[in-house]
């Protein structure tokens, strides 16, 4: 490989930069406190989806669960999430759609 192409690829590689928390969630977490902040993650699909509910620190409040797309299953999932919210005193819950849930 010619030397000039090596130089170009090295210059184009950007160093990893970890940003300080300045996103849209920071004010919401600060308002209620991290112990009252949860995240509901839903991996959507056609026939069934998966969801999990975790707190700000990553502690899983509801294990990853497969959700068939039926009325009864949706109602049951909503009730499970509401129960976990009550049990753990969660006050803020952003919803994260898509992504892979193990």
Count CB neighbours of 61 within 10 A. 19
Within a domain: residue 24? no
Within a domain: residue 19? no
Q: What is the model's pLDDT at position 8?
A: 52
Count CB neighbours of 50 within 10 A. 17
Q: What is the model's pLDDT at position 96?
A: 78
Within a domain: residue 33? no
CATH number at 99 reads 3.30.420
Q: What is the model's pLDDT at position 84?
A: 95
Count of structural domains, the chain: 1
Residue pLDDT, tens place only, 5-27 = 555 555 566 665 544 555 677 77
Within a domain: residue 64? yes
Q: Which range of residues forms the domain containing residue 92?
A: 38-102
Residue pLDDT, tens place only, 61-99 = 999 999 999 999 999 999 999 999 999 999 988 877 775
Within a domain: residue 63? yes
Residue pLDDT, tens place only, 17-68 = 544 555 677 778 778 888 888 889 999 888 899 999 998 888 999 999 999 9
Within a domain: residue 50? yes
Going from the C-alpha of 43 to that of each of 21, 71, 74, 101, the distances in angstroms are 25, 18, 14, 6
Within a domain: residue 15? no
Within a domain: residue 23? no
Q: What is the model's pLDDT at position 62?
A: 94
């Amino acid at each position: 490989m010619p030397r000039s192409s090596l130089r170009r690829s090295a210059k184009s590689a950007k160093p990893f930069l970890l940003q300080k928390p300045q996103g849209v969630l920071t004010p919401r977490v600060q308002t209620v406190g991290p112990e009252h902040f949860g995240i509901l993650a839903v991996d959507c699909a056609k026939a069934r989806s998966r969801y999990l509910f975790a707190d700000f620190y990553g502690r899983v409040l509801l294990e990853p669960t497969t959700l068939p797309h039926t009325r009864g299953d949706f109602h049951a999932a909503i009730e499970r999430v509401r129960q976990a919210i009550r049990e753990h005193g969660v006050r803020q819950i952003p919803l994260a759609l898509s992504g892979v849930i193990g």
